Amino acid sequence: MLVVENLSKSYGSKVVLHGISFSLEGGQIVGLLGANGAGKSSLLKILAGLLREHGGLVSLQGQAIGLESKKITAYCPDRPIYPPSHTAHNLLNLCADFFSDFDKDKALDLIERFKLPLDLPFKSFSKGQKERLQLIFTLSRRAQLFLFDEPLGGIDPLGRQEILDLITKERGQESTILIATHLVHDIQDCLDKALFLQNGGLVAFETTATLKNRHGSVEQAYKDLMHV
Ligand SMILES: Nc1ncnc2c1ncn2[C@@H]1O[C@H](COP(=O)(O)OP(=O)(O)OP(=O)(O)O)[C@@H](O)[C@H]1O
């Protein structure tokens, strides 16, 4: 479904992704794990079609990343992106206008379930509420590929499981999810596979079952592979 071949990325003279290759199949939840600066956000932005200058090839459902792939890719960045003065209600209407695959009723249900205010400006939301709203709008698309950049960062420990449940249950069965996070312990039980990045290189890409066999857990695999 997603094929990445010999992908490299530099900012000026600084190389941050070193010719990495992997492919993802439909229906998988994959963890993108690595230390600060490993290249996770850069990789997600390339897959989302937001960073277009790179080496190597990336294709989604047989087509190079571009306008067509963006129609079936939902990307949730690691920081708030919505205009501060817009209410959740305004933003809901904007998403519905902008994305042809946006399910407005689903977004409204989730806003209600998470008790988020519909009529207050985005700037008055707490960090965790902002993250929840972005997650809800991302998950309310019927996309094939979902890209989440640190979706749990601002969420309190009890809320994290709720968010992970949301991500795992609310996606389409055929869609693929790639989640970049440092919270390996919190996320490990919902992953099918994990991709380990270190200094822009791909260290390992294995199923959770293999990692558990070899290391006991994904968290321990992270420590062993990254020499923490
Ligand atoms: N716009 C940019 N210009 C120059 N260097 C950048 C830019 N964006 C990222 N970098 C550098 O690229 C490297 C990888 O950054 P990236 O944000 O992709 O890593 P990350 O794994 O997501 O890190 P973190 O876990 O801290 O979010 C870092 O050394 C960073 O300083």
pLDDT at 109: 95
Which residue's CA is the closest to the ligand 1 atom numbered 9?
42
Output the six-digit token pair for 60: 């989604």
Q: What is the dihedral of CA 3, 6, 12, 14, to 10 degrees?
A: 110
Other CB atoms within a 10 A radius of the CB of residue 74 amount to 24
**Number of structural domains in the chain:** 1
How far is Cα of residue 163 from the mean position of the Cα atoms in its chain?
12
Per-residue pLDDT tens digits for 148-196:
999 988 788 888 888 898 888 877 678 999 999 999 999 999 999 999 9
Q: What is the ipTM of this complex?
A: 0.98
| φ, ψ dihedrals at 9, nearest 5° | -145, 135
- Say yes or no: CB of residue 40 within 6 Å of ligand 1: yes
* Residue of 10, 3, 14, 22 lying closest to 197 (CA atoms): 22
Cα separation of the two ends of the chain: 33
Q: Which helix (H) or strand (E) holds 146?
A: strand 145-149
Distance from residue 21's CA to the centre of ligand 1 (Å)? 19
Which residue's CA is the closest to the ligand 1 atom numbered 3?
11
Mean pLDDT of 212-222: 97
Per-residue pLDDT tens digits for 113-140:
999 999 999 999 998 899 999 999 999 9
Domain that residue 125 falls in: 2-226
- Say yes or no: CB of residue 181 within 6 Å of ligand 1: no
- Decide if pLDDT at 86 tops 80: yes
- Say yes or no: CB of residue 11 within 6 Å of ligand 1: yes
Per-residue DSSP letter, 122: G
- CATH code at 25? 3.40.50.300
- Sheet architecture: strand order including 2-11: 14-24, 2-11, 55-60, 63-64
Q: Which of 17, 42, 47 to mutate to test the pocket of ligand 1 (most atoms within 8 A of CB)?
A: 42
* Residue of 163, 170, 111 lying closest to 139 (CA atoms): 170
- Say yes or no: CB of residue 49 within 6 Å of ligand 1: no
Output the six-digit token pair for 182: 């440092």
- Parallel/antiparallel/unpaired status of strands 73-76 and 55-60: unpaired
Mean pLDDT of 20-40: 96
Q: What is the dihedral of CA 152, 113, 146, 51, to 10 degrees?
A: -70
Mean pLDDT of 98-116: 94
Distance from residue 43's CA to the centre of ligand 1 (Å)? 10
* Alpha-carbon span 173 to 26, nearest angstrom: 8
- Say yes or no: CB of residue 31 within 6 Å of ligand 1: no
